Amino acid sequence: MCEQTEDCHAWLRPLVTKVSSILGKGFEDVRYEVSIPTDLLLNSNLSFVNVISNACPDDDDEAKKRAKSTNVVVKRMPAETVQDVVRSREQFHNEILFYQKYAQYYDRAPRCVYATEEPPSPDSVIVLENVAIERGYNVCKWKYDTPLEYTLAAFREIARFHAIAYATKRTREKEFFDFVNAVEEIRFYPESMYSHIFRATATRFLDCLRRRGHDKDFCDKLEARLANTLEDLVLTFTKVEEPLSTLCHGDFTINNMLFKKECDELNVIFIDFALIRYGSPVLDLSTFLCLHCARDLDKVMLENVLRVYHDSLTQCLKEKDIDAGDYSYDALHEDYKKRGLFGFFIATYYLGLHINSCSETAEILDFSKIEPTKWPAVARETGGEEVDEILANMLLKLKEFGCLDYIL
């Protein structure tokens, strides 16, 4: 049972009753077990709940041991001190919207058992199938320097996710855009807190380049260009341009996917759709690569994984009888040159958090201890010179690929 106070059970008991009624036959009389994870980075309160039927099919002892149960993940709003900072209400809105209006087209998301949006009340809740227990999926133990096998598996599945959106956009245009237009922007809008974060972090690698004696004119021009990174660059990267724009996961990181080896193939399930957005697929691809493959990301590696992504995308489109002509590899390649720095800028403030231990990262992100106004300065220092070196090397490799051609 949960070691939390009775307050935990006060809200959980009636929720379990609702969930039990949805589960149907065999769950008329239930008990539950709950555990609270302590090693996850979350923008919500998360509980793992096992709902167990008290009904026994017969008096056999073995039958009692095999009592029917189902494991779910319960997401609730975080503390009020965090809600406005991370836009929790908008995040819950997006994830509930995804499950209610779009998940019918994408069949590999966890099953949503129950969800209710209660603005502005903190009672918004999402109950999802626990795919780790119910289907045997596991987290990836590599948070950075992710093995290529995991990167390719993630890229094949995000290709499928994007292709399904392209197909839905073609075949159910009105429903698709009604859904897209209802999605809330969480991070990237004028005067968001990320404007201040990027001003602090976007240039953190330049001192490293200058210490190496890198071209002064290049460093000076780049520093000037990054003075207002959100307004001048990131918002441009997120601009919708057809036909490549698709539904993006929006937070395409190793923390938001689970893996399972089946028939010598590594399969992936995505979780946490709170930051979904409509835009270039490069927004997803560059985020993953710059966070999880930062040391290995060079021109050859990037071209190879883009090929794998595009092959999977094309195959899925063919299976859905969609002409892949508008989504050529050349168009994707050029769009990556145009927007590939999106993931790099995410890495300037988040890569250090990945490299830190989970407990250290949780402390850094604890807004009850660190005022949001002080977070940009903390983010710039997180990871220290090690991260500065990684970012400097990655920037030069992205320059070789052509990702600076559009901004300098």
Q: What pLDDT, on a 0 to 100 scale, did the predictor assign at position 366?
A: 62
Euclidean distance between CA atoms 69 and 20, whole angstroms: 10
In this prediction, the residues of the chain whose per-residue pLDDT falls under 70 are 1-7, 39-44, 56-67, 119-122, 357-369
Euclidean distance between CA atoms 294 and 230, whole angstroms: 21
CA torsion angle 334 338 343 347 (round to 10): 130
Task: Name the residue with tokens 């893996």.
Answer: 259
Q: H or E element: which one contains 277?
A: strand 277-279
Euclidean distance between CA atoms 317 and 96, whole angstroms: 27
User: Are the C-beta atoms of residues 269 and 283 closer than 8 Å to each other?
Assistant: no
- Residue ranges and CATH numbers for the domains of the chain are 6-134 (3.30.200), 148-401 (3.90.1200)
**pTM score of the predicted model:** 0.93
Q: What pLDDT, on a 0 to 100 scale, did the predictor assign at position 77?
A: 85
Q: Sign of dihedral through CA atoms 331, 333, 336, 338?
A: negative
Residue 113, SS3? strand
Backbone angles phi, psi at 127, to 5 degrees: -115, 120
Cis peptide before 14 (omega within 30 of 0): no
Q: What pLDDT, on a 0 to 100 scale, did the predictor assign at position 122?
A: 63
Q: What pLDDT, on a 0 to 100 scale, did the predictor assign at position 39?
A: 63
- What is the DSSP annotation of 154-223? HHHHHHHHHHHHHHHHHHSHHHHHHHHHTPPP-S-STT-HHHHHHHHHTTTTHHHHHHTT--HHHHHHHH
Euclidean distance between CA atoms 43 and 18, whole angstroms: 24
User: Are the C-beta atoms of residues 342 and 237 closer than 8 Å to each other?
Assistant: yes
User: Are the C-beta atoms of residues 358 and 144 closer than 8 Å to each other?
Assistant: no
Cis peptide before 372 (omega within 30 of 0): no
User: Are the C-beta atoms of residues 261 and 150 closer than 8 Å to each other?
Assistant: no
The CA-based diameter of the chain, rounded to the nearest angstrom, is: 82
CA torsion angle 346 218 209 302 (round to 10): 50
Provide the 10 A C-beta neighbour count for residue 405: 11
Residue 32, SS3? strand
Backbone angles phi, psi at 87, to 5 degrees: 60, 55
**Cα dist. 9→31, 32, 43 in Å?**
12, 10, 21
DSSP H helices in 293-328: 299-319
Q: Count Cα neighbours of 79 within 13 Å in the Cβ-side half-sphere.
A: 6
Q: What pLDDT, on a 0 to 100 scale, did the predictor assign at position 128?
A: 97
In tens, the pLDDT along 2-18 reads 445 556 778 899 999 99
